[in-house]
């Protein structure tokens, strides 16, 4: 990475602006070119400074963060990383993602304490990733207005066993991508779906409720003992790994646990995929979508070793082509497919009975 990323910090707290500047300045690839104390000030500073990325608080006087996003994105899209507090701005964070924000980092505290420095590494990585996001891949339109695309002209690879389960791993750009894809699946969709979406604690339940309101399928945040059944989408709760247990009567139930502790993410795509592979064997489809890092690569190896099939989102539609790239480069992807065609592909596979 040779280009220096120019960042504007937007926050009504002078202390937070100072700390965020110090954190970002740790990276030789980032230069903080200015700060703003609210959304109105930010609109003016962007005109003047032309930053590459904006870090954005949401709860501010004069003009709050979501309104700033709506105005800025309508005028000139720019990568924005939200920095917010779950218990004070959870709904605002989801609204900010709808309005075009690339990603978000959860503030560890609302107080002026050194605990703010805990997010330093995460913030740097997300700002660096945001600087390279093609903004036309962030769907900011209402998911209800999405037009269902024509089904792909390329036939999917033959699946030798009937599918019984779909598992999805997704991160940066995930809330927007799922809000595009899941509402296009019909109420009679015959397969269960389980999702690991990298989000901080305090957001997955709220996001599941919002997605449920947009979808014909039932979307829930997974709880201990929930039954895995057709037409149900289970989103792993932040802070717990989602795994499965098959009872002697054939019923599969969700199981949540904190272990393993040594994973970069909790929930982990790898943990979900491994458990699903052990329960469903060759009757499993794993899908790795947009996101930073390589979570899901080892899980895909488990799926393949048990006879299952792996799809990855094509680079052309990914907000960040990290997780899918790691699977493709490991030779584990059976097919790459753009987000545009994912819903119709899943429908075709599920209804074909293959």
Q: Give the pLDDT of residue 33.
A: 97
Give the pLDDT confidence of 202-231 residue by residue, as tens digits: 789 999 999 999 999 999 999 999 999 999
Are 30 and 4 in contact, with CB atoms under 8 Å apart? Answer: yes
Q: How far apart are CA 218 and CA 146, in angstroms?
A: 19
Q: Name the pLDDT band for 120 (thresholds 50, 70, 90).
A: very high
Q: Name the pLDDT band for 320 (thresholds 50, 70, 90).
A: very high
Q: Give the pLDDT of residue 88.
A: 54
Q: How far apart are CA 11 and CA 232, in angstroms?
A: 39
User: Residue written as tokens 């962030």?
Assistant: 138
Q: Which two structure tokens, joined as six digits, stand for 58?
A: 């949401």
Query: Mean pLDDT across the stretch 37-52?
Result: 96
Which of the following CATH numbers is that of domain 143-352: 3.40.50.720, 3.40.50.300, 3.30.300.30, 3.40.50.180? 3.40.50.180
Q: How far apart are CA 135 and CA 7, in angstroms?
A: 16
Instruction: Average the pLDDT over each of 109-118, 123-132, 141-150, 237-246 and give the range with the smallest value.
Output: 141-150
Domain boundaries, the chain: 5-133, 143-352
Are 190 and 350 in contact, with CB atoms under 8 Å apart? Answer: yes
The count of residues in the chain is 354
Q: Which residue did the predictor score with more confidence, 283 or 144?
A: 283
Which of the following CATH numbers is that of domain 5-133: 2.40.100.10, 1.10.606.20, 3.40.50.720, 3.40.50.2300? 3.40.50.2300
Q: Give the pLDDT of residue 149.
A: 43
Residue 303 has pLDDT above 90, yes or no: yes
Residues carrying an active site annotation: 171, 198, 295
Give the pLDDT confidence of 237-285 residue by residue, as tens digits: 999 999 999 988 889 999 999 888 787 888 999 999 999 999 999 999 9
| Nearest residue to 235 (alpha-carbon basis) of 261, 259, 206 | 206
The H or E element that residue 233 is part of is strand 232-235
Tell me the β-bridge partners of 218: 232
Residue 111 has pLDDT above 70, yes or no: no
Spatial neighbors of 12 by CB under 8 A, at least 6 apart, are: 37, 38, 57, 59, 60, 61
């Amino acid at each position: 990475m040779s280009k220096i990323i120019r960042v504007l910090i937007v926050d009504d707290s002078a202390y937070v602006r100072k700390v965020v500047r110090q954190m970002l300045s740790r990276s030789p690839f980032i230069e903080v070119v200015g700060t703003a104390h609210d959304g109105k000030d930010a609109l003016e500073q962007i005109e003047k400074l032309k930053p590459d990325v904006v870090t954005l608080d949401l709860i501010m006087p004069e003009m709050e963060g979501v309104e700033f996003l709506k105005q800025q994105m309508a005028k000139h899209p720019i990568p924005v990383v939200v920095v917010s507090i779950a218990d004070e701005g959870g709904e605002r964070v989801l609204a900010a993602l709808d309005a075009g924000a690339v990603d978000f980092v959860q503030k560890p505290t609302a107080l002026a304490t050194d605990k703010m420095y805990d997010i330093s590494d995460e913030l740097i990585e997300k700002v660096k990733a945001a600087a390279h996001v093609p903004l036309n891949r962030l769907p900011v339109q209402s998911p209800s207005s999405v037009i269902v695309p024509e089904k792909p002209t390329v036939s999917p690879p033959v699946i030798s066993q009937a599918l019984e389960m779909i598992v999805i791993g997704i991160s940066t750009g995930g809330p927007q991508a799922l809000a595009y894809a899941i509402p296009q699946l019909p109420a009679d969709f015959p397969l269960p779906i389980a999702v690991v979406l990298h989000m901080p604690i305090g957001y997955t339940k709220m996001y599941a409720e919002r997605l449920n309101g947009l979808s014909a399928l039932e979307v829930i945040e997974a709880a201990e003992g929930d039954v895995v059944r057709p037409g149900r989408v289970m989103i792993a709760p932040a802070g717990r790994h989602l795994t499965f247990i098959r009872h002697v009567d054939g019923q599969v139930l969700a199981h949540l646990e904190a272990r393993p502790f040594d994973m970069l993410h909790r929930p982990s795509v790898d943990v979900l995929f491994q458990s699903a592979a052990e329960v469903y064997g060759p009757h499993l489809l794993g899908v790795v979508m947009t996101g930073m890092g390589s979570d899901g690569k080892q899980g895909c190896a488990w799926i393949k070793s048990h006879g299952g099939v792996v799809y990855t989102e094509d680079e052309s539609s990914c907000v960040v082509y990290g997780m899918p790239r790691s699977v493709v480069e490991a030779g584990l992807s059976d097919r790459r497919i753009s987000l545009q065609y994912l819903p119709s592909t899943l429908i075709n596979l599920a209804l074909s009975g293959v």
